[in-house]
Amino acid sequence: MKENKLNEASKWRFPAAKDVHFDVDVYLNRFIPPSQLHRFPRVIARFLGYREVPYKEIGNVIVAFWALVGAFLGLLLTTAVFRYSSLLQSYDPPVLFASLGATAILDYNTIQSPLAQPRASLLGHTLAATVGVCIAKLAMLGGDITNIRWIIGPLSCGVASFVMAMTNTVHPPGGATAVLAAVDPTINKMGWIFIPLLLLGSVLMTFVALAVNNIQRQFPVFWWTPQDVGIKEHPDIEYAGEVQEKNILSNVGESGFKQTIILNPDRILVPEGFSLDPEQTQVLEVLRLQLKEWEVEEEHHHFMFTGSDTTHVEQGTIP
């Protein structure tokens, strides 16, 4: 009798915190076609972020210089389009949406961050703007919102943060976008048109980023996700059970495996029971992608100096 009661109670137990998890890409990635950038002419492919071999790192002074150039040109193009387009002027937009200034720092400076990639920049801003406008419109149903802006501003930012997290489109400037849509009287007056105008600004800045960031660097690191897309048999990140553990114990050492993350060009293997959030997963996938590109570069280098890629020399193994 006691056992039955215990079984009944266990059915209603709350799940562990690590099990409360949702990754939309698990469902979407199978429908996303693999990148076809390698089929483009070399010059076009380069300015879309494709490299046959990984780019070489440059000094932070050069990075800062290109970030300055990119931020200036990206925001200048956006303000010029807003100022001189008669169609856009009919909506009386501001000189510049302030949240795009924060985007400029990400898009031209920290260009390898998952937060700066086109998916996050374009969709994050768009979703945040939609959330902010929707909340402002709902608040306006009750009349003047002047006295409740202090509530709907934080609410818009919080909801936008949740939506971006659930769609893997986290872009910090999106928080400012949501707040602007809720509390700025000028944008309240613009209404729904704020969403496509902000998207236009994001697109223009991305165009400039593709041009400037690919002169001596590489952008984007990925367009949709660093994970493999399309229908596949095995996930990118595998959680090691008994079979996987036995297969790699000889390489990583029996004593250290349970505290070890295995990263190679083809897969990421983490210990069973060790959880990763979406941002951590993206960081590991970026590293895996860079490792795979480095492997290609090494094979290319070996072929150039030996005339053959059939010889492989083991340089060392993990005891």
pLDDT tens track for 144-172: 899 999 999 999 999 999 999 999 999 99
Which among 212, 245, 265 is the end of a domain?
Answer: 212
How many residues can be counted in the chain?
Answer: 319
Q: Are residues 184 and 245 in the same domain?
A: no
Element (H, E) at 281: helix 278-306
pLDDT confidence band for 10 (50 / 70 / 90) = low
Q: Are residues 186 and 125 in the same domain?
A: yes
Q: Are residues 244 and 280 in the same domain?
A: yes
Task: Give me the pLDDT at residue 248, please.
Answer: 52
Task: Give me the pLDDT at residue 319, please.
Answer: 41
Tell me if residue 215 falls in helix, strand or coil.
coil
Q: Are residues 42 and 89 in the same domain?
A: yes
Average pLDDT, the chain: 83
* Better-predicted residue by pLDDT, 190 or 54: 190
Task: Give me the pLDDT at residue 297, please.
Answer: 65
pLDDT in tens, 231-242: 654 444 555 444
In-domain check, residue 313: no
Q: Are residues 127 and 247 in the same domain?
A: no
Tell me if residue 52 falls in helix, strand or coil.
coil
User: Does 257 have pLDDT greater than 80?
Assistant: no
Element (H, E) at 66: helix 60-84
**What's the pTM value of the predicted model, to 2 decimals?**
0.72
Alpha carbon separation from 219 to 70, 95, 111, 205 (Å, rounded): 12, 27, 7, 13
The total number of structural domains that make up the chain:
2
Max Cα–Cα distance, the chain, nearest Å = 79
Give, rounded to a whole angstrom, the gap between the first and last alpha carbons of the chain.
Answer: 52
The pair of three-digit structure tokens given for residue 295, joined into one six-digit string: 């492997």
pLDDT confidence band for 318 (50 / 70 / 90) = very low
Query: What is the domain extent for residue 49?
Result: 32-212
Report, as an integer, the average pLDDT of 134-143: 94
- Between 247-251, 262-266, 269-273, 280-284, the lowest mean confidence (pLDDT) is in 247-251
Q: What are phi and psi of 7, to 5 degrees?
A: -65, -40
pLDDT in tens, 60-109: 999 999 999 999 999 999 999 999 999 999 999 999 999 999 999 999 99
Q: Are residues 244 and 199 in the same domain?
A: no
